[in-house]
Amino acid sequence: MIVVGGMIGLGKSSVAKLLGERLGTQVFYESVEDNKILPLFYTSSEEEIQAKRYPFLLQLYFLDTRFKSIKEALVDDNNVLDRSIYEDWYFAKVNRDLGRISDLEFEVYESLVNNMMEELAELPKKSPDVFVYLKGSFDTVLERINKRGRGYELDESLVDYYRVLWEGYDSWLENHYKASDVIIVDMDVTDVVNNESDADAVVDAVKAKLKELGRL
């Protein structure tokens, strides 16, 4: 299984789609369009967030849908997953650090994650083969969020939240992610949608790593 991850807006879905098409495998996208909680998370006031616990509900929603996708994706070699359960933990931690998720909620969340990981450990393939990590400057993040035009993501008040996520993402990768080999793609200079040579370079890097691991 290949996981594509990284900061919001950097092009995970586009890279996942590309890899699925070139490798002839299935892509399991992050549940966004049918996610009723996500717009509420982005557009609610701090008072509403505290009263209705949208950050906690959102992380539970992503955890549930991600777990289902992982079990489906692990059936065949080289299926592609748009974001990982490991990153879900990072998002939950950031929201805990910001006071949007309580310590008790985070404790419950971590318990659920651990239970799910124990269940995955019993499957023939329990973790990704390759993690394709999309990295970029904060300016690139904001530019691409604005370009894709999801209305609930565009409020100026969200910039500080995006910055906190972005500032800790590379550190999370370096210090916490141990599940698989990692390929880092610099999205400041990579455009897999409009530049064929960039698309080829990303696919070639992933294929080379899969061959090295005996997965291709």
Q: pLDDT tens digits for 46-101?
A: 888 888 899 999 999 999 999 999 888 888 889 999 999 999 999 999 999 999 99
Mean pLDDT, range 193-216, rounded to an integer? 96
Residue that wins the pLDDT comparison between 17 and 154: 17
Of 21-25, 44-48, 53-57, 107-111, the one with minimum mean pLDDT is 44-48
Q: What are phi and psi of 128, to 5 degrees?
A: -65, 160
What is the share, in percent, of the chain residues with pLDDT greater than 90?
71
Q: What are phi and psi of 131, to 5 degrees?
A: -110, 115
Environment class of 5 (CB within 10 Å of its CB; exposed 0-12, middle 13-18, buried 19+): buried
Q: Which two tokens stand for residue 202?
A: 């990303």
Give the mean pLDDT of the chain: 92
pLDDT class of 168 with cuts at 50, 70, 90: very high
Catalytic residues: 82
What is the share, in percent, of the chain residues with pLDDT greater than 70?
98
Calculate Rg over the CA atoms of the chain: 17
Of 43-52, 112-121, 155-164, 174-183, the one with minimum mean pLDDT is 43-52
Query: CB neighbours of 170 closer than 8 A, spacing ≥ 6?
Result: 135
Q: Is the pLDDT of residue 163 over 80?
A: yes
Residue 120: per-residue pLDDT: 83
Of 70-79, 103-112, 121-130, the one with minimum mean pLDDT is 121-130
Q: Are 37 and 43 in contact (CB under 8 A)?
A: no
Mean pLDDT, range 121-132, rounded to an integer? 83
Element (H, E) at 114: helix 103-121
Q: Where are the beta strands (DSSP E) in the chain?
A: 2-6, 27-28, 80-82, 130-135, 181-186
What's at 207, amino acid-wise? K
Residue 75: per-residue pLDDT: 80
Q: Is the pLDDT of residue 197 over 90?
A: yes
Task: Please tell me the distance from the alpha carbon of residue 192 to that of residue 209, in angstroms, as a whole number.
Answer: 19
Environment class of 207 (CB within 10 Å of its CB; exposed 0-12, middle 13-18, buried 19+): middle
Residue 96: per-residue pLDDT: 96
Q: Are 90 and 168 in contact (CB under 8 A)?
A: yes
CATH number listed for the domain at residues 2-212 = 3.40.50.300
Q: What are phi and psi of 179, to 5 degrees?
A: -80, -25
Residue 60: per-residue pLDDT: 94
Residue 156: per-residue pLDDT: 80
Residue 198: per-residue pLDDT: 98
Q: Which two tokens stand for residue 135?
A: 């990295």
- The pTM for the full model equals 0.92
Q: Are 70 and 85 in contact (CB under 8 A)?
A: yes
Residue 92: per-residue pLDDT: 96
Query: CB neighbours of 117 closer than 8 A, spacing ≥ 6?
Result: 85
